[in-house]
């Protein structure tokens, strides 16, 4: 490819800017022309496409959000929409697109490749829910934010001898909850991957810890389990411990990316442009171990999700 475009799509994630910067600067280093598309696939349909230069991506690596803006595009998600976007690329002479986003965005990248425009996906989502990759851009920052917020909640929970039920994001994936639960010393962590028994996994656990002298409790609930208000009420009813629920929400999506997110984003962006330079298409850039590799998008979308059972066991054994 000689003239490529980059866009961010779906929910934003801290580190997306670092990925955009990497794509732009790598492309320029390789002698390519590079364009930034605003508002995800919508911008491709509307022709919101600007040529990018070295200085276009100055001063963004440390910022959360995405300076290219993002959207979930219902119009693009139709055969006509995909065709229109491909035609727009041809009109502009764009012969490669890097799509930074989650699974939904990769399905779009696969379809656009099918319509004749080579695409490469880069995993950007706080959820870590892309089965082909052990890591997604934004995940580390979101977990650190959740941890800091829950540390604050703990201060007041402790002062009042209460139980706090805190719901964290992750869509259907329990990874943010599991790791955050360990990091904040939660008495229990509920994830969608593991069925739980209210009496045994919550009430008994809390009562046992109470008998050993523990007086305040943090319960982390993954978004995929949900019902944190009801869980909180029931804990209060069954244990007699005054309880409060907090849904952390979109605070987890913002803020300055951590070092890990900035560096992984930089590496993944670089790899994506290498693939386009080498004439590859329909690939998704992923992390395996600590290595950056790539898979066919269609195969990647069909890979089964794995859950870290050992880490879950560790969280169970340490929460006492």
Closest by CA position to 272, among listed 40, 39, 8:
8
Query: What is the CB neighbour count within 10 angstroms for residue 47?
Result: 11
Q: Would you count residue 44 as binding ligand F6P (CB under 6 A)?
A: no
Query: Can you tell me which of 95, 111, 127, 201 binds ligand F6P, judged by CB under 6 A?
Result: 127
Residue 126 annotated in ligand binding = yes
Question: How far is it, in rounded angstroms, from Cα 278 to Cα 275?
Answer: 5
Closest distance of CB 142 from ligand F6P, Å: 8
> Contacting ligand F6P (CB under 6 A), which of 21, 38, 216, 253?
253
Q: Is 116 annotated as a binding residue?
A: no
* Helices and strands of the chain, counted as H and E runs: 11, 11
Residue 240 has phi, psi (to 5 degrees) of 80, 5
Q: Which residues, at least 6 apart from 25, have a Cβ–Cβ distance to it below 8 Å?
A: 54, 57
Residues 6+ apart with CB under 8 A from 168: 146, 176, 177, 180, 220, 221, 222, 223, 248, 252
Could you tell me the smallest distance in angstroms from the CB atom of residue 135 to ligand F6P?
A: 15
- Asked if 11 is part of the footprint of ligand F6P (rule: CB under 6 A), the reply reads yes
Regarding 126 and contact with ligand F6P (CB under 6 A), the answer is yes
Maximum CA extent, the chain: 71
The one catalytic residue in 12, 111, 127, 201 is 127
169 annotated as belonging to a binding site for a ligand: yes
Binding mask 198-227 for ligand F6P (x = CB under 6 A): -------------------------x----
Number of residues that bind ligand F6P (CB under 6 A): 9
The rounded distance, in Å, linking the Cα atoms of 106 and 119 is 9
127 in active site: yes
* Range 155-194, binding ligand F6P (CB under 6 A): 169-171
Candidates 125, 141, 145, 315; binder of ligand F6P (CB under 6 A) is 125
Tell me: is residue 274 an annotated ligand-binding position: no
For ligand F6P, the closer of residues 118 and 138 by Cβ is: 138
Nearest to 28 by CA among 6, 63, 52, 49: 52
Binding region for ligand F6P (CB under 6 A) out of 15-23, 115-123, 125-133, 214-222: 125-133
Q: Please name which of 86, 162, 98 lies closest in space to residue 124, comparing C-alpha atoms.
A: 98
Q: Residues with Cβ < 8 Å from 247, sequence gap 6 or more?
A: 166, 167, 228
Q: Does residue 320 have a known ligand-binding role?
A: no
| Nearest 10 degrees: Cα torsion 53, 58, 61, 62 | -160
**Contact assessment for residue 202 and residue 189, using Cβ atoms and an 8 Å cutoff:** no
- Smallest gap from residue 29 Cβ to ligand F6P (A): 31
Asked if residue 199 belongs to a known ligand binding site, the reply is no
Q: Which residues are known binding-site members?
A: 11, 21-25, 72-73, 102-105, 125-127, 154, 162, 169-171, 214-216, 223, 244, 250-253
Active site residues: 127
**Which spans of this chain sit near ligand F6P (rule: CB under 6 A)?**
11, 125-127, 169-171, 223, 253
Q: Which residues are known binding-site members for ATP?
A: 11, 72-73, 102-105
């Amino acid at each position: 490819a000689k003239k490529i475009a980059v866009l961010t799509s779906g929910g934003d994630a801290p580190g997306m800017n670092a990925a955009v910067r990497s794509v732009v600067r790598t492309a320029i280093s390789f002698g390519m022309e590079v364009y930034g598309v605003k508002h995800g696939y919508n911008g491709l349909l509307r022709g919101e496409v600007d040529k990018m230069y070295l200085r276009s991506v100055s001063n963004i690596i440390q910022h959360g959000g995405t300076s290219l803006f993002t959207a979930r595009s219902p119009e693009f998600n139709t055969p006509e929409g995909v065709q229109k976007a491909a035609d727009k690329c041809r009109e502009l002479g764009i012969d490669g697109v890097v799509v930074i986003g989650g699974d939904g965005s990769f399905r779009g990248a696969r379809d656009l490749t099918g319509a004749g425009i080579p695409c490469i996906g880069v995993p950007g989502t706080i959820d870590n829910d892309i089965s082909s990759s052990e890591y997604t851009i934004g995940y580390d920052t979101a977990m650190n934010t959740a941890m800091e917020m829950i540390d604050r909640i703990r201060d007041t929970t402790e002062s009042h001898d209460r139980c706090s039920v805190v719901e964290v994001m992750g869509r259907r994936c329990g990874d943010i909850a599991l790791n955050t639960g360990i990091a904040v010393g939660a008495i229990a962590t509920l994830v969608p991957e593991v069925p739980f028994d209210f009496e045994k996994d919550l009430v008994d656990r809390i009562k046992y810890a109470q008998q050993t002298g523990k007086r305040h409790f943090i319960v982390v609930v993954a978004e995929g389990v949900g019902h944190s208000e009801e869980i909180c009420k029931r804990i209060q009813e069954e244990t007699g411990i005054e309880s409060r629920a907090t849904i952390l929400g979109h605070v987890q999506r913002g803020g300055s990316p951590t070092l890990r997110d900035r560096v992984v984003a930089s590496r993944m962006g670089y790899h994506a442009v290498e693939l386009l330079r080498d004439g590859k298409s329909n690939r998704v850039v992923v992390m395996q171990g600590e290595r950056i590799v790539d898979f066919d998008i269609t195969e990647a979308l069909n890979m089964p999700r794995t859950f870290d059972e050992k880490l879950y066991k560790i969280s169970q054994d340490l929460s006492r």
